[in-house]
Chain A
Amino acid sequence: MKILVVDDSKTMRMIVKRTLRQAGFEAHEVVEAGNGVEALEVIRTAAPDVVMSDWNMPEMNGLQLLQKMTEDGLRPRFGFVTSEGTAEMRETARQAGAQFFISKPFTPESFEAQLTPVLAGA
């Protein structure tokens, strides 16, 4: 299975990849993008099964990315990994089609709890 990690921070992409390994998802291939625009290109060319995206990013944010994916009929499973963790934003994400929502700071346990059902269904 292929997971796309989208975050404008290279440090955070590295931390997300490390946490994926710590949560037991080391067998999955991980690809990266630095913002929504880059992510769309990677989704079209590399066809990831799951997208884990930050919310606040320059050029195209995570919500805009999800909306563009929906418009364009791109269907990988999608969720947010973000410091924006309020109930209102979770609801906005859910209504836009996000299937999981992981708040920063996160732990391997939160990754495991959120991603296991998503990866099982992908």
Chain B
Amino acid sequence: MLKQWMTALLDSAEELARTSLGWELSRPTESVEAIPGEAIGGCVALVGDTTSAQIGLIAAPSDCQQLCKALMAGTAEDPDLEESEMVDALCEMANIMAGCLKGRLEPVTEPLKLGLPLFVRTPLRLASRQQLELAPARLGPVETRLMLIHPFVKEAK
């Protein structure tokens, strides 16, 4: 289950990068920090009758500026967005990824409903039953961490 979600999450981020940002997604081959110092981002809940998870994307604030400018068809040289604009854009990126993820998972899972997107900031505080999975992903020039907060039991390796 966890592997299916993480694969679908990466595929969804790739679709976001290609379609909405005009970038490619790549996976860093070098080792990276789990969470890069201070990070912000957006996440969305996907809820079914027996499943509840949250997916999202976080990055350093300066990198989020670049992501959000790309979403709005701007360039890195454009003036920085105000915080409210960045919050809105990060939430919308999480929303787009969640919709893609839902479309990829529903053929093999129960029907899922999307929640409204939330802005998040590190340190993330999880409830005792939740686990956090992070996948480093480079969207164009921007280092991000894709995020899955889930209650799934990890499969034995």
**Chain A interface residues (CB < 8 Å from chain B):** 8-12, 14-15, 18, 56-58, 82-86, 88, 103-107
Contact = CB atoms under 8 A, between A and B. Distances in A.
B98 interface: yes
Nearest to A10: B88
Nearest to A103: B99
A9 B91 contact: yes
Interface in B76-122: 85, 88-89, 91-92, 95-96, 98-100, 102-103, 106, 111, 114-116
Contact of A15 (B15, B16, B71, B116): B71
A10 B85 contact: yes
Nearest to B88: A11
Chain B interface secondary structure, helix, strand, loop or mixed? helix
Given A18-B73, A105-B19, A83 B88 contact: no
Contacts of B103: 85-86, 103
Given A9-B91, A104-B96, A83 B72 contact: no
B95 A83 contact: yes
B72 A82 contact: no
A103 B95 CA distance: 12
B114 A83 contact: yes
A58 B116 contact: yes
A11 B90 CA distance: 9
Contacts, number: 62
Nearest to A55: B114
A106 B89 CA distance: 16
B46 to A, nearest CB: 11
A107 B106 CA distance: 23
A84 B73 contact: no
B20 interface: yes
B99 A84 contact: yes
16 contacts: A9-B89, A9-B95, A10-B85, A11-B85, A15-B71, A15-B73, A56-B115, A57-B116, A83-B102, A84-B102, A85-B103, A86-B102, A86-B111, A104-B20, A105-B16, A107-B19
Nearest to B91: A9
Interface string B46-86: 00000000000000000000001001110000000000010
A105 B92 contact: no
B97 to A, nearest CB: 8
A103 B99 CA distance: 8
